[in-house]
Amino acid sequence: MSSFNQKLTQSTQLRQEMRINPRLYQAMELLYMPLLDLEQHLKEQMEENPFLEMQEAVEQKEVELKEDSTDEPMSDDDVDWEEILLDGFDVGGRRQQYEHKEYYEPTPVEAQDLHDHLNDQLRLLSISERELRLGEELIGDIDDTGMLACTLEEAVAGVNEWLDDVRPTVIEKSREIADDEEREAELAEIEVLFRPYEVVEAERMLEVIQGFDPPGVAARDVRESILIQLRHRSDEDSVAYRIVGEFFDELINHHWSEIGKELGLTPKEVQDAADSISQLDPKPGLKYAVDPARYVIPDLIVEKIDGEYMVFANDTSLPRLRISRSYREVARNKRDFTGENKEFIASKLNSANWMIQAIEQRRQTMLKVMNFIVDRQREFFERGVQYLKPLTLREVADYIEMHESTVSRVTNKKFVQTPRGVYSLKYFFSSGLSTTSGEDISARGVRDKIQNMIDAEDPKKPLTDQAIVDRLMEDGVKIARRTVAKYRDQMGILTARMRKRV
């Protein structure tokens, strides 16, 4: 039987590989970063690299040193120490030189969420500990919209599972009591308190929680939530309550005539009742949803100066980096360093130079992209969104002679402040539609035209998708009916039948 001959061998071969330089990765990350992230990144770089320093800080320090050098030196004989001590130790308005000023960062106060709001109301009730535990379980199963996110059976199973875990521990502690009578009384109380919950108990507790603020909370679906809100308003005998209770599907589909025939009402009366129902909140819990304020800081600014649109980088908050003079002098003395020290200095100095160049390259690239957008979309800045022209990333990439992915990184999560407001750079990119004049119009501009048409339509005779197509054709826009329907759905606009008023 033959065996394999195992041995080590060496061979040479030629092979082509494409590898991205690590610094190229860093450059792409810098392009991708929004303004605030970039600011934080540069501060971290200054902490890691001693060769980097802020230019503003250095210049300000030089100015202060120059001003200090022009002041005449003050001798001890010129200082009236008695007056200084009696006057609260204030030396000629220069207290900042020797007095440490503390700054207290304001502490944000966390807003109360829905569960906290409901639990506070639960604890105000005069209920037993057993009921309190069940109520907390049900409140924990309510989602952010205010709806009960599980069935009552599932909620009961969850709280009973918790009881099974804690019951042995409590019984064991009760057995440690020396007195037999006390032990029997304790065990009897535990048996009552820790007996398994039933669905009937959960139904009673759910009714209690449904009476809490906000009205409509703890419902199992939208229909029940609206009924609860109507009961809060004492409208159980109203037409609206009956419509929601008996004809909810027809209500959703705006079948006013069918509902009117069943209730002996005119379609107008049914629609009026539906209007009152639409004023209720189908997701009452969202008003307590924790949604921190989000602020947008534009990366670029467009201003109209003497009839021309000028683009500026909004980077005044960014640290102005420069090579530290002191460390530059140290690096010049190459004879004083050998081995690891020499490699460390060379590496940090090269990294500092590259970072400064990369930041400037990022700035210039963003300005090039925005200048092209301004030139292309001048009519938008002059006349509005309906004059927004179609634009693709490839068009910009060809103009600035860079790859399309670079333009994508430049425009991602970036904002620009313009005379018409603050926009995401992605806002200016959209597909186009042909017109009879031979020019193209942006899809965003078409959607704005559709929105304006629907806002101005006769509510009793709303525009159908085909009618919108015909009106757009009159304006010279070639568009298919299915495209109008797609744009209408994207804007959250109902069909003509659903918008019709009787």
- According to the 3-state scheme, what is the secondary structure of 286-339? HHHCCCCCCCCCCCEEEEEECCEEEEEECCCCCCCEEECHHHHHHHHCHHHCCH
Average pLDDT, integer, range 459-479: 89
Higher pLDDT, 456 or 177: 456
Q: What is the pLDDT of residues 222-273, one digit of tens each?
A: 999 999 999 999 988 999 999 999 999 999 999 999 999 999 999 999 999 9
The whole-angstrom separation of Cα 234 and Cα 275 is 18
pLDDT of residue 331: 65
Q: Residue 101: pLDDT above 90?
A: no
User: If DSSP states are collapsed to H, E and C, what string results for 381-394?
Assistant: HHHCHHHCCCECHH
Strand partners, 219: 147
Average pLDDT, integer, range 100-114: 54
What confidence tier does 372 reach under pLDDT thresholds 50, 70, 90?
very high
What fold characterizes domain 432-502? Arc Repressor Mutant, subunit A (1.10.10)
pLDDT of residue 369: 92
pLDDT of residue 5: 63
Strands (E) in 2-152, as ranges, are 52-54
Q: What is the pLDDT of residues 136-166, one digit of tens each?
A: 999 999 999 999 999 999 999 988 888 777 7
Q: Residue 64: pLDDT above 50?
A: no
Cut 0.85: pTM above it: no
Q: What is the pLDDT of residues 470-500, one digit of tens each?
A: 998 888 888 889 989 998 998 889 898 888 8
Q: What is the pLDDT of residues 404-441, one digit of tens each?
A: 888 888 888 889 999 999 999 988 988 777 666 656 67
What confidence tier does 182 reach under pLDDT thresholds 50, 70, 90?
low
What confidence tier does 169 reach under pLDDT thresholds 50, 70, 90?
low
Average pLDDT, integer, range 282-288: 89
- Where b means 16+ CB within 10 Å and e means fewer, 431-443 reads ebbebeeeeebbb
Average pLDDT of the chain? 79
Structure letter (DSSP) for residue 184? H
Average pLDDT, integer, range 266-293: 86
What confidence tier does 330 reach under pLDDT thresholds 50, 70, 90?
low
Average pLDDT, integer, range 39-47: 82
pLDDT of residue 277: 93
Asked if 123 and 132 count as a contact pair (C-beta separation under 8 A), the reply is: yes
Which residues, including other chains, have CB under 8 Å from residue 383's CB and lie 6 or more apart? Answer: none
Strand (E) or helix (H) holding 251: helix 248-252
Q: Residue 75: pLDDT above 70?
A: no
Structure letter (DSSP) for residue 85? H
Average pLDDT, integer, range 381-398: 88
